[in-house]
C-alpha cells in the first residue's frame, strides 16, 4: 500500500471523540479512505467516513479489514465507564474481548502495516508509593485487580503480544493523561461538573490533562508517522486538585476516604458521576507521567498545557441546579468523616 494512500480503520466511532477523529482524518492529505466501525451508528455527521456497522467482539471484523484493504488501524474503542457500556460485564467484553478479536483480525491480515492504540495513563495506577513521574518503562506499584485499570493492563498485554507475533507491523500505544475539553464526557469531567466537589481530606493530588484537540492531533500524527513504541501523552505542567476546583469556583466537601466512597456510590446510582476504585485512588494520590519520549522519539508537542486544557474545559461548565447541590451537601453532612470546617469555596 502506497504511504500516500492510506486506508485507515477507526474503531469506536459511535462515541463523540471517535466520530470526530475519523471525520478529521478523512480530510487529511495522504489518507485515501477512512472506515469507521462500531456496533451502533454514530450520532452526528461523519463527513466522508465510510461507516460499517460491526461489533469488534465478533470475528466478522476480519472480513471488514480484508474487504476494505485496510493498512492502518486506530483502536479507540476502549470504554472507561460501565454505565455507558450497559454494565461491568459488557464493558469488560467490549474492552478485552473486543481488543482480542481486533488483534486476531489484524494478525491474519496481509494488508495491515500500522496499529495505533489509544490507551491511558490509568494503567500506572495511583498509590502513596508512586514515583514523582512515571516513565513508559515503569510498572504500577500495585497491579490492578478489577475495573477499567485491569482492562487496560490486559489490553496492553495483548497488544505487546501482537507486536511480537507481527514484527512487520508498527505498533504505537498512547498512554494519555485525562482528556479534557468542552465535548468530552468521562469520569473526570463528570466529577468536575458536579455542583459540589467531594475531595479526600488531607490529600491534594497532582493532575495532568491533555486537551481534546491535542488528542486529535497526536492520533493524526501517529497515523502519518512511522514511529513504533509506547508513549505518555500530556500537556505541559501539573495542577493540584485544589487549584482546579478554585478555578471552577465551586464548593468542596472534604471527607475522609471511606466517606468519599459512600458519596461516590450515591452519585453513581443517581447517574451523576461514574466513580470507580481507580478514580478514587487518582483523586487521593494523583499521578504524574513523564512526556520526554513523546517529544524526543514520537516528535509530538501538545499545543495546550495542562492548565490551558483545564481552563478551556472550565469555561464550558456552568453551575448545576441549586436543588441538586442542596441534596449533595445534605447527603455529605450525614456521612462520617466530613471535615469540621464544612464546604469551602475555591
Beta strands per DSSP E along the chain: 6-11, 31-38, 50-53, 72-75, 114-120, 170-176, 178-180, 197-200, 206-207, 209-211, 229-233, 239-240, 251-255, 344-345
Check residue 328 and give its pLDDT: 41
> What is the dihedral angle through the alpha carbons of 174, 182, 122, 95, rounded to the nearest 10 degrees?
-70
Is the confidence at residue 257, as pLDDT, over 90? no
Beta strands per DSSP E along 177-267: 178-180, 197-200, 206-207, 209-211, 229-233, 239-240, 251-255
pTM (2 decimals)?
0.88
Maximum average pLDDT range among 28-42, 145-159, 321-335: 28-42
Q: What is the rounded distance in angstroms from the CA atom of residue 128 to the CA atom of residue 284? A: 9
Tell me the pLDDT band of 85, cut-offs 50, 70 and 90: low
Domain 6-182+209-237+288-314 in this protein, CATH class: alpha beta
pLDDT (tens digit per residue) in 65-78: 999 999 999 999 98
Check residue 323 and give its pLDDT: 37
The answer to which of 140-144, 246-250, 331-335 has the lowest mean pLDDT is 331-335
Taken as a whole, the chain contains a residue count of 346
> How many helices (DSSP H) and strands (DSSP E) are in the chain?
14, 14
Maximum average pLDDT range among 93-102, 216-225, 309-318: 216-225
Beta strands per DSSP E along 196-303: 197-200, 206-207, 209-211, 229-233, 239-240, 251-255
Q: Are 285 and 203 in contact (CB under 8 A)?
A: yes
Q: What is the rounded distance in angstroms from the CA atom of residue 23 to the CA atom of residue 212? A: 14
Check residue 84 and give its pLDDT: 59
From the number of C-beta atoms within 10 Å of its C-beta (0-12, 13-18, 19+), residue 207 rates as buried
pLDDT (tens digit per residue) in 188-224: 999 999 999 999 999 999 999 999 999 999 999 999 9
What average pLDDT is seen over the chain?
87
State whether the Cα torsion 335-206-267-278 is positive or negative.
Answer: negative
pLDDT (tens digit per residue) in 144-197: 777 888 999 999 999 999 999 999 999 999 999 999 999 898 889 999 999 999
- Reading the block at residue 298, the C-alpha cell is 514520537
- What percent of the chain has pLDDT above 70? 87
User: How remote is the C-alpha of 72 from its chain's centroid?
Assistant: 21
Check residue 258 and give its pLDDT: 85
Amino acid at each position: 500500500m502506497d504511504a500516500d494512500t492510506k486506508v485507515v480503520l477507526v474503531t469506536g466511532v459511535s462515541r463523540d471523540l471517535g466520530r470526530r477523529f475519523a471525520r478529521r482524518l478523512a480530510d487529511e492529505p495522504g489518507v485515501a479512505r477512512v472506515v469507521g466501525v462500531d456496533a451502533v451508528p454514530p450520532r452526528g455527521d461523519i463527513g466522508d467516513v465510510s461507516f460499517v456497522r460491526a461489533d469488534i467482539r465478533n470475528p466478522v471484523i476480519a472480513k471488514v479489514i480484508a474487504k476494505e484493504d485496510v493498512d492502518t488501524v486506530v483502536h479507540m474503542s476502549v470504554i472507561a465507564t460501565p454505565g455507558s457500556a450497559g454494565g461491568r460485564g459488557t464493558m469488560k467484553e467490549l474492552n478485552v474481548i473486543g481488543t482480542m478479536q481486533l488483534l486476531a483480525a489484524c494478525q491474519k491480515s496481509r494488508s495491515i502495516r500500522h496499529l495505533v492504540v489509544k490507551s491511558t495513563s490509568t494503567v500506572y495506577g495511583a498509590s502513596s508509593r508512586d514515583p514523582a513521574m512515571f516513565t513508559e518503562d515503569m510498572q504500577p506499584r500495585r497491579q490492578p485487580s478489577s475495573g477499567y485499570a485491569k482492562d487496560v493492563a490486559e489490553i496492553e498485554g495483548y497488544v505487546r503480544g501482537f507486536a511480537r507475533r507481527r514484527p512487520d507491523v508498527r505498533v504505537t500505544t498512547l498512554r494519555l493523561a485525562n482528556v479534557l475539553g468542552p465535548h468530552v464526557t468521562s469520569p473526570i469531567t463528570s466529577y468536575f461538573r458536579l455542583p459540589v466537589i467531594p475531595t479526600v481530606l488531607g490529600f491534594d493530588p497532582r493532575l495532568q490533562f491533555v486537551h481534546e484537540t491535542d488528542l486529535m492531533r497526536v492520533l493524526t500524527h501517529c497515523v502519518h508517522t512511522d514511529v513504533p513504541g509506547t508513549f505518555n501523552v500530556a500537556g505541559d505542567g501539573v495542577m493540584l486538585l485544589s487549584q482546579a476546583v478554585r478555578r471552577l469556583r465551586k464548593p468542596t466537601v472534604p471527607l475522609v476516604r471511606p466517606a468519599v466512597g459512600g458519596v461516590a456510590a450515591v452519585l453513581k446510582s443517581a447517574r451523576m458521576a461514574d466513580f470507580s476504585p481507580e478514580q478514587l485512588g487518582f483523586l487521593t494520590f494523583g499521578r504524574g507521567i513523564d512526556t520526554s519520549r513523546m517529544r524526543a522519539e514520537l516528535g509530538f508537542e501538545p499545543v495546550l498545557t495542562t492548565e490551558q486544557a483545564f481552563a478551556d474545559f472550565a469555561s464550558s461548565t456552568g453551575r448545576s441546579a441549586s436543588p441538586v447541590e442542596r441534596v449533595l451537601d445534605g447527603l455529605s453532612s450525614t456521612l462520617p468523616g466530613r471535615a469540621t470546617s464544612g464546604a469551602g469555596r475555591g
